[in-house]
Amino acid sequence: MGMTQLQQLTGPVLRPGDPGYDAECRTQNLLTPLRPAIAVGAADVADVQAAVRYAAENKLPVAVRGGGHMQPYAAEGAVLVTLDRMAGVTVDAGRRTARVTGGARWQEVIDAAAKEGLAPMAGSSVTVGAIGYVLGGGQGPILARSYGYASDHVTSFDIVTADGVLRTVSGDDELFAALRGGKGNFGVVTAMEIELFPVTTVFAGSIYFPGSATAEVLRTWRDWAATLPVQATTSVAVQRLPPVEELPPPLRGAHVLSVRFAHLGTAEAGEALLAPMRAAAPALIDTVAEVPYKVAATLHNDPVDAMPYLDRSLGLSGLPGAALDKLIELTGPGTPIPLTSVEIRALGGAMDRPPATTDSVPSRGLPFQLFAFAVGADDLDGGHRRLERLMTAMLPWSDPKRRRMPNFLSTEEALDPQALSEVYGRELYERLRAVKRRYDPDTMFRMNHTIR
């Protein structure tokens, strides 16, 4: 297929220098700009198929952008397929499902589901692409401990594989198993069907404590999180918030801890569960209340605008006193590692439950996950160094099998095949390799966390 056929697509086909090329290549992380040889703004499945066939015939790699939060490569020399024009959400209230297409962000899915009194298993950031998220498992701040990983509640995917064929996969299909956790390795996913939950309000929010109370808050949180029922999901983050007008004065430019809490149940039950945590130290701000799911979905206060950021994560096998002491030493008052956010998520609950059919989420059974990020482009070396020091310092408490969520792999780790095989473990990695060999024998989809 020549360039001429590519010009007959419904969506735009753009080369460097063309008007609209830069906008088509935008990402949420300003440190990972895309510079593909050709950017295809796919308007429908036929456009995706044509772009993939063109890449195959010309031996070019294919990059995919949904929400644009996780682009490890600049896609140089590649055909980039963007999915914004195909973004859509159709809710079937009777079946409690949604069909999510293209690059729909979680916010669109949340809004469409809320109209029917339903909620999807969204993540902490509503600007993340719903399909990109689910391909990495998807560990959410509200429903995770009650219902598990988001990928546990996908019923089918539509995918254009390297041969340009559109396939619908579900049930026991090996490709369906690989897609739930295996990220963007197997093709361009054009649509998915997901289950929705009858959740309209949640008792949820954040309690912000001053950084001076780091030790009390972290110790209380660890003990308290262990007592929570599966209906409650929580995380704690030590943060250095920016000095911006949008934040209320006690938080503006402040060193704080944010304890996030979400409970499916009555406000009374939620209040009772939260009481010991609230008593840990005097709060600066406490937003926990009964709120619509849509409001609860932003309880992490993740940035909405595109910005430069670096991140790293580590699966933790536990949080004994020595691990907390180390974290306090590194993030407490007067600390040597000033990162924007150092977060621990308490996992467990339904996230430990085996999936209904085989999948590829490697992190089941992990009790905690550490995730840290640095914002800004002024001191990238410093940011990398600080993240590295934190992760190295916490290594003694990392999961012995090195398991963790594919969704939280840093862009640097994507370039390291060793890191990826460690995350999945040998058996699962070999299974993913077999599926990769079958559906993408020439490794056309290699602009991501690539299975080699």
Ligand X SMILES: Cc1cc2nc3c(=O)[nH]c(=O)nc-3n(C[C@H](O)[C@H](O)[C@H](O)COP(=O)(O)OP(=O)(O)OC[C@H]3O[C@@H](n4cnc5c(N)ncnc54)[C@H](O)[C@@H]3O)c2cc1C
Q: Which residues bind ligand X (CB under 6 A)?
A: 64-71, 83, 123-125, 128-129, 131-133, 135-141, 183-184, 188-189, 302, 405, 407, 448
Residue nearer to ligand X on the CB measure, 64 or 175? 64
The distance of closest approach from Cβ of residue 343 to ligand X in the complex, given in angstroms and rounded to an integer, is: 10
Look at the alpha carbons of 199, 203, 209, 214 in this order and tell me if their dihedral is positive or negative: negative
Residue nearer to ligand X on the CB measure, 12 or 102? 102
The distance of closest approach from Cβ of residue 72 to ligand X in the complex, given in angstroms and rounded to an integer, is: 7
DSSP type of residue 363 = -
Contact between 141 and 371 under an 8 Å Cβ cutoff? The reply is no
Structure tokens at 385: 């160094």
Bridge partner residues of 209 (DSSP): 257
Distance separating alpha carbons of residues 85 and 414, to the nearest angstrom: 27
The distance of closest approach from Cβ of residue 141 to ligand X in the complex, given in angstroms and rounded to an integer, is: 6
Residue nearer to ligand X on the CB measure, 135 or 207? 135
109 phi/psi in degrees, rounded to 5: -70, -40
Bridge partner residues of 372 (DSSP): 312, 342
Residue nearer to ligand X on the CB measure, 66 or 315? 66
Nearest to 126 by CA among 141, 148, 147, 146: 141
The distance of closest approach from Cβ of residue 138 to ligand X in the complex, given in angstroms and rounded to an integer, is: 5
Residue nearer to ligand X on the CB measure, 21 or 445? 445
The distance of closest approach from Cβ of residue 119 to ligand X in the complex, given in angstroms and rounded to an integer, is: 15
CB atoms within 10 A of CB 395: 11
Residue nearer to ligand X on the CB measure, 124 or 214? 124
Angle at 134 between CA 194 and CA 125, to 5 degrees: 105
β-pair type (62-65, 38-41)? unpaired
Residue nearer to ligand X on the CB measure, 68 or 362? 68
What are the distances in angstroms from CA 197 to CA 97, 113, 120, 142, 143? 9, 9, 6, 12, 9
The distance of closest approach from Cβ of residue 186 to ligand X in the complex, given in angstroms and rounded to an integer, is: 8
58 phi/psi in degrees, rounded to 5: -100, 10
The distance of closest approach from Cβ of residue 117 to ligand X in the complex, given in angstroms and rounded to an integer, is: 23
